[in-house]
Amino acid sequence: MPLDAHGRPGRVLLLGGTSDIGEAIVRRFVQGGTHHVLAAGRKPAAALDDLAARVEHLTFDATDTATHGAFFDDVFSRHGPIDVVVVAFGVLHLPGEAEQNPDLAVEMADVNYTGAASALLHSARRMRDQGSGHLVVLSSVAGLAPRANFVYGSTKAGIDFLARGLAASLADSPVGVTIVRPGFVRTSMTAHMEPVMFSVDPDDVAQAVVAGLAADRGVVWVPPVLRPVMALVRMLPPALARRLG
């Protein structure tokens, strides 16, 4: 089954079941009529159990890409058509720590880029075969211009690039891609960090995703003002950009 005319899915696969943003997106989907949620992650996402939909917990390890083929085969064959896959898992280390400790940088790259790339490509192939579907990819404005958090940003830049290319490749198919580029989102993942300008809550991201699917938009900025802001930031000379932080 494809999404309905408003871009509302019936069955959703959430990768990163314990992600606050992922949870918020799924909550909004369920309000819009989603009846079946497959929440996948290393730990079961207990927070989703109160949803007014059938929720199933699946074990999924983003970094264990060798298992992804079997995982997606199982999900797509056993549960029937998956209307939307949300790639929401991610790791974020403090900027200074990631730069000083390459192991942390590698971990972020493994999860945020390698794992996400594998998940996206596996999902896209199966959605092509099922004849419908939509991929929601959590990118970040951190990936658009190198700032203090450039290590994290580089992993998001990678997945954003891949998703854009994938969207172009899927243009002749009924499978859609929506890239979500939030600014600072106040979540448990960022609880150890100082919020910055244009901070948003997970539900702001979720509402923007729902609106993006309704309008079949390829890129969603949260908040929308980040689109012109980032365009400006990318035009600044590096020295000036550094001074502005």
User: Among all residues, which ones are annotated catalytic?
Assistant: 152
| Residue 114: alpha-carbon gap to chain centroid | 13
Sign of CA dihedral 158, 108, 185, 193: negative
Minimum distance, C-beta of residue 36 to other proteins, in the bound complex (Å)? 12
- Cβ proximity to other proteins, 44 vs 81, nearer residue: 81
Those residues with Cβ within 8 angstroms of residue 126's Cβ, 6 or more apart along the chain or in another chain:
72, 73, 76, 82, 133
Distance CA 181, CA 143 (A): 9
Strands (E), the chain: 11-15, 36-41, 54-59, 84-87, 133-138, 175-182, 219-222
Determine the residue type at 44.
P
Distance CA 123, CA 142 (A): 25
Distance CA 15, CA 175 (A): 18
Chain positions contacting other proteins, by CB under 8 A: 1-8, 10, 32-33, 35, 81, 128-132, 172-174, 207, 210-211, 214-216
Minimum distance, C-beta of residue 237 to other proteins, in the bound complex (Å)? 36
